[in-house]
Structure 1
Amino acid sequence: MLLQEGATAEAAALAEAEGFGPTDGASTGSLFPPDITFYVDGKPIEAHRIILCARSPFFEHKFETDWKNRKEVRFSNKKLSFGALYNLIHFFYADRLEAPVDEMESLSRTCKVCKCEELRKLVDKEILHLRFALYKSTSKLGLENSQSPRRFILLGQSLPREDRLPSALRRVLQKCLANSREEEFKKTLANEICRNWKDDDLADLTVKVDDTVFRCHQVILASRSEYFKTRLSRTVDFLEGNNRVHASLGLPFLEEHDLSTEAFEKMLEYMYTDNLEHMDPTQAEELFDVASRYLLFPLRRAVADLLLPNLEHVSPAELCHWLILSDIYGVTKIREYCLDIIAYNFEMFADIREFRALLLTLPPPSANDALRTTRPSQPGAAGHTDQGNILDDLREKWLEAEAAELDERDQSAALFDQRLEMLMLVAEREACDDDNAALH
C-alpha cells in the first residue's frame, strides 16, 4: 500500500489487487513516490493527489486552490484522528474500508468533511445499528469480555456504482483524454500550447502514440503493468527524443510504437477502470497483442468477454482464424468456444477449405497413446486442465460429442485421427493445385 504507517499485509494485498501498491518493502512507492503528505498528531500519511481528487470533492477543491503547490499539509483539528483519515485514504485506494468500531464516529465526521456522502451514510447506519444492538452477536457466544477489538469492514460494492473506485478513475481518464492534443499542433505552437494546456487532470506523464499525445498518471500505469513499471523506472527514457514541447511541459515523455491510438486508448480504459464498456470486434486481435506486449494479461479476458457474442455470427472460416489467434495468445475462453463449435459441427467444417488448410499449419495429434490428452482419467484422478495441442483438444471435444461408450473410446479416437489424415491429404493436394495454378 502507498500508505506506510501501520498498513497490514492484508490491506497492502487488497490495495494491490485493485492495482495500487506493493506487497513488500521494495515498493512502487519508492519509484513513484506519493506527492502529498498529511500530518495528523505528528504522524505522516502519504498519498497521491490523483487518487484523492478522484474520490473526494473536498480534496479536489483543496488541491485546485489552497493546497495547489503544497507537498505537506498539517492538520491541527483535535477532532480529526490519524486512524480515521488513514482508513479513509486506504479506502480510496483499495475500495475496502476496515476500521475499529471505536473509531467509527470519527470516521463519519471525516467522511462528512471530505464530502464522501454515500460512504458516510453507510457508516452512520452501522453506528446506529451498533448503538441499539451492542454486542448482539458476541453475547450469544459468551464473548462479551473478548480482548480482540471489533472492526467494521465495508466493500466498495456496497456503494452506488458512481462512488466506486473504477467509476472515479473513469472520470479521471475522461478528463485526461479530453486534454489530449494532436502532436502536429505542438510542432509549431509549443509555447501557446503550454500556456493553454489544462493541468486539472493532474497528469504526470505523457505518452505519444502516432500523432496523439496521451496524458496519464505514472502510479496507475506502473501499478497495472509490469512493462510500464519497468519502463518508467528507467529515468533515461523519461524524455525520449528530447522533445522540446514535452520538456517544456515538464512531464516525463514516452513514445510507443506499432499500435493504434484506438488500441492504446482501450488499454488505458482497462488500466484505469478494470473494465471495457464497448469494443469494435475488429480491435480484438490488436488488443490481444497489446495485452501480451504490455504484460496486461487480464485485459485478454475483458476483450474475450466482449468478442464472444460476436463469434455467434461469424463464418466458419473466421472461426478458424479466431481459433488460431486464441491459441497463440492463450485466450482460453475463445479457444474453448471455437473448439466446441468445430467439434459439434465437424463434418460441416470438414467441407470447408479454410479448415482443411488450417490442419496443415497445426502440430499433428498425439499418436502415442501415452501422450494422448483424450485418455479417460482414472477414477479419482485429476482431469487434464492444461492447454495442449489443438488437434488433441479438438479430438477430446469430438469424443465428448460423438464418440461411443467409454470402453470403445480409443477406437473412436483412432477413427477421428484417420479422418484428420484424410482431410490433411486433401488440403495438401489443394495447396499443390494452387501452386501450379499460380505458376501458370
Structure 2
Amino acid sequence: MDAYDLFTSCRKGDISRVRYLVEQRDVDLNVRDKWDSTPLYYSCLCGHEELVQYLLANGAKCEANTFDGERCMYGSLSDSIRRLLKEYKCITAQAMQRDYYDHFLLTLLEQGQYSDVKFLVHGETFQAHRCVLSARSEYFTAMFETKWKGKNLIPLKHPLINPAAFGAILQYFYTGRMDIDVSHVEDCKRLAKQCKMGDLIDELESKCKQVGFGELPFDRTDNFPSYPDICFRVEGYDFLCHKAFFCGRSDYFKALLQDHFSEGEMLQSQPSTPVLTIHNISHEIFIRLLYYVYSDDTELSPENVFDVLCVADMYLLPGLKRLCGKTLAKMLCEDNVLHMWKTAKLFRLSRLEDQCTEYMAKIIERLVEQPEFADMIKEDAGAVEDRHETDSIPLVDDIRFHITSNVQTFSAIEEANVKLDALDQLLSTIGLEC
C-alpha cells in the first residue's frame, strides 16, 4: 500500500506526501511497479522538477547509460529536468546519511579514527584499519601476518602504484563504491588483481559505478586475524572487538571508551587489549548487538526483540531501534496494538507509531469498547502542554487521518463516517472534544 501511495504521489507531484512516505514510512525510493517503472520516472514524466530534485538527493538511482537513466532522460517533460538528471551524481551526502551504516564507514575511512595502520604511497598518507582490510582481502591478511607484521607505517614504493588508485581501492574496501577518474581504471584493476579482488575486477571491466557487496567488515568465512583492540566481557564471555566500530556507531560507547582504561584490566591472552565488563545485558543479547554493529543487521525474534530494543535505546543505536521497530510491526495484531503504540511512543519509533494508528483505524469500532484505549486517549490529551478543551489530541488526529485517507468510493465514505462517529462518541463519553 505504501509503495502504491508513493507512485501516486509522484505522479501528482505531492512532495510533502513523498517526504512522509520516505522519511517516516521508510518506503524504498527505487521500488518498481508492474510496468518496471520507478517513482523517479513518473516524477520526470509528469514534470515535477522539485520532486525530481528531492528523489535524486535522497538516493533515487539514475545512472547514465542504464535502463532507468535513459528512460528518465527521454521521458522527462522539460529540459530543466533533463539538466538535473545530467548533473546527477551517484551518491550525495544527503543520500549517504540516510544510510547510517554507509555514512559511518565513509567517515571511518575519511577521518581515520582508531586507525592502526598507515600506508605511505609516493608521499601521500592513507590511514586504515587492519580488521577491515583483512576481512576484505586475502592479500592484506597474508601481508599483515608476514612482511607487514608489527608495522604501523607501511611505505608502498612500487612505481606502478598510483596514489589515486590506492585511495579508490581503500574506498571500495570500506564502502563498496569507487569515485575514480576513468584514466585511473587500469591502475585500479592492477591493484585489484594484486589484492585478489575478483568482484572488483569484474566491475571495473564493465564500468566504474556504485557496486554492492556482502556484510562488512567480517563477510569472510575462513578464520583470519581481526586485530582487536578492545575486549568486552559479558556474563563471563569475552568478545574481541574494535573501538573504531563501537565508537563510530554509538556515542555511548564512544564516551565510555574514551574515558576508560587509564587503569584497567588487560586480557591475559593479549596483554595489549583492555577488558571492559558490560553489566545489565545477557551475552545472547550482546551477540545480537555485535552483529548489528559490524554488519548493520541482526537476527530478531518475538522472544528477543524487546530486550534488543531496550539495549539499542540505552546504547544509542538508532538504526538498531529501527530494525526492532520493523520486527515489532510484523507482530502487530488486535491483541497487542495498544501495547505496541505505547512502546513506539516510549522509544520514539515514529514509523511503528504510525503503523499502530493505521491499524487502530481499521478496528476502531471494536477498539472504542476497550477501557485501556480510552485511558490512552486521556493520557495523550494530558500530555499536550497547555491544552484547551477543543485542542486536538495527537493520537485521535492520527487515527482520523488513517480513517479518511484514500477514501474514494461512496461505500468507503459511509464506512469512514461510521468509524468517525464511533470515535467521536467515545470522546464525548470521556469528556473530551477535539
TM-score interval, smaller chain:
0.5 to 0.7
What is aligned with 1:100? 181
- 2:14 alignment counterpart: none
TM-superposed deviation, 1:360: 5.6
Q: Is the 8 A contact 2:118 2:153 kept in 1?
A: yes
**Structure 1 residues 211 and 359, CA, compared in 2 at 3 Å: closer, same or farther?**
farther
What RMSD in Å do the two structures reach over aligned CA positions? 3.9
Q: Do 1:317 and 1:354's aligned partners in 2 also have CA atoms closer than 8 Å?
A: no
Distance 1:267 1:404, change over 3 A: same
Q: Please give the secondary structure, in 1, of the residue aligned with 2:273.
A: coil
Residue 260 of structure 1, aligned match among 259, 282, 307 = 282
1:372 to 2:388 alignment: no
> Aligned partners of 1:213 and 1:411: how far apart in 2?
59
What is the match of residue 67 of structure 1?
A: 148
Q: Which residue, 259, 263, 270 being the options, matches 2:292?
A: 270
Of the three residues 104, 108, 119, the one matched with 1:19 is 104
Contact 2:265 2:274 in 1 (8 A): no
More contact order relative to length (CA 8 Å, sep ≥ 6): 1
Corresponding residue for residue 55 of structure 2 = none
Normalising by structure 2, we get a TM-score of 0.66
Task: Quote the Cα distance in structure 2 between the aligned partners of 1:272 and 1:309.
Answer: 24
Deviation at 1:411?
Answer: 13
Matched, 1:54 2:139: no
Instruction: Give the distance between the partners of 2:145 and 2:401, measured in 1 at CA.
Output: 61
Partner Cα distance (1:167, 1:289) in 2: 24
Q: Secondary structure at the match of 2:105?
A: coil
In the alignment, which of 156, 169, 183 is matched to residue 211 of structure 2?
Answer: 156
**Contact 1:239–1:252 (8 Å) recurs in 2:** no
Does the Cα contact within 8 Å between 1:350 and 1:423 map onto a contact in 2?
no
1:24-173 mapped onto 2 (5 Å cutoff): 29=112, 32-126=113-207, 153-157=208-212, 164=213, 166-171=214-219
Partner of 1:323: 341
Q: 1:228 aligns with which of 245, 253, 267?
A: 253
Match 1:297 to one of 311, 314, 318: 318
The reply on whether 1:238 has 2:261 as its aligned counterpart is yes
Could you say if the C-alpha distance between residues 245 and 98 of structure 1 is closer, same or farther in structure 2, counting changes exceeding 3 Å? closer
Matched, 1:397 2:402: yes
Which letter does structure 2 place at the counterpart of 1:259? I
SS at match of 1:282: coil
Q: Secondary structure at the match of 1:317?
A: coil
Q: Which amino acid letter does the alignment assign opposite residue 356 of structure 2?
A: C
Distance 1:244 1:262 in 2: 23
Amino acid at match of 1:271: V
Q: Which has the higher helix share?
A: 1
Measured after TM superposition, the shift of residue 218 of structure 1 is: 0.8
Residue 305 of structure 1 deviates from its aligned partner by: 2.1
Structure 1: stretches of 5+ with no match in the other structure: 1-8, 127-152, 158-163, 176-197, 374-388, 426-440
AA aligned to 1:397 is H
2:396 counterpart of 1:348? no
Structure-2 change in CA distance of 1:35 and 1:10 (3 Å): farther
Tell whether the 8 Å contact from 1:39 to 1:73 is kept in structure 2 after alignment.
yes
**Preserved contact between residue 13 and residue 23 of structure 1 (Cα < 8 Å):** no
CA distance in 1, matches of 2:119, 2:166: 9
Instruction: Give the SS at the match of 2:366.
Output: helix
1:364 and 1:391 in contact (8 A); partners too: no
Aligned twin of 2:427? 420
Corresponding position of 1:186 = none
One-letter amino acid of the structure 1 residue matched with residue 104 of structure 2: G
Query: CA–CA distance in 1 between the matches of 2:316 and 2:383?
Result: 31
Once the 2 structures are TM-superposed, how far is the Cα of residue 416 of structure 1 from its aligned partner? 3.1
After TM superposition, give the deviation of residue 60 of structure 1 in Å.
Answer: 0.9
Q: Quick one: structure 1 residues 348 and 365, their matched pair in 2 at CA, closer, same or farther if it must change by over 3 Å?
A: farther
Structure 1 residues 337 and 11: CA distance shift in structure 2, 3 A: closer
1:286/1:228 Cα in 2 relative to 1: closer, same or farther (>3 Å)? same
1:123-155 Cα distance to aligned partner (Å, 9 max, x none) = 1233xxxxxxxxxxxxxxxxxxxxxxxxxx421
Correspondence for 1:211 among 236, 253, 257:
236
Q: Distance in 1 between matches of 2:418 and 2:362?
A: 19
Give, in angstroms, the shift of residue 216 of structure 1. 0.9
Contact 1:45–1:86 under 8 Å retained in 2: yes
TM-fit CA distance, 1:46 = 1.9
Q: 2:170 and 2:94 mapped to 1: Cα distance?
A: 13
Query: Is the CA contact 2:122–2:157 (under 8 Å) kept in the aligned structure 1?
Result: yes
Query: How far apart are the structure 2 equivalents of 1:23 and 1:247?
Result: 28
Q: Would the alpha carbon gap of residues 401 and 118 (structure 1) be closer, same or farther in structure 2, given more than 3 Å must change?
A: closer
Inter-partner Cα distance in structure 1 for 2:92 and 2:364: 50
Cα offset for 1:87? 1.3
Tell me the equivalent position of 1:147.
Answer: none
Q: Is the 8 A contact 1:317 1:352 kept in 2?
A: no
Q: Deviations over 1:211-252 (max 9, x none)?
A: 322111111111111222222222xx2277x33645963212
**SS, match of residue 249 in structure 1:** coil
- AA aligned opposite 2:203: L
Secondary structure (helix, strand or coil) at the match of 1:73 reads strand
Once residues 424 and 58 of structure 1 are traced to their aligned partners in structure 2, the CA distance between those partners, rounded to angstroms, is 72
- What do residues 246-300 of structure 1 show as CA deviations (whole Å, max 9, x unaligned)? 5963212222222222222222212211223x31113222222222222211222
1:116 and 1:11 map into 2 onto residues whose CA distance is 27
Measured in 1, the distance between the counterparts of 2:382 and 2:418 equals 18
Deviation of 1:118 after TM superposition, in Å, equals 1.2
Structure 1: 4+ residue segments shifted above 6 A: 9-13, 401-406, 409-415
CA distance in 2, matches of 1:401, 1:345: 17
CA contact (8 A) 2:117 2:152 kept: yes
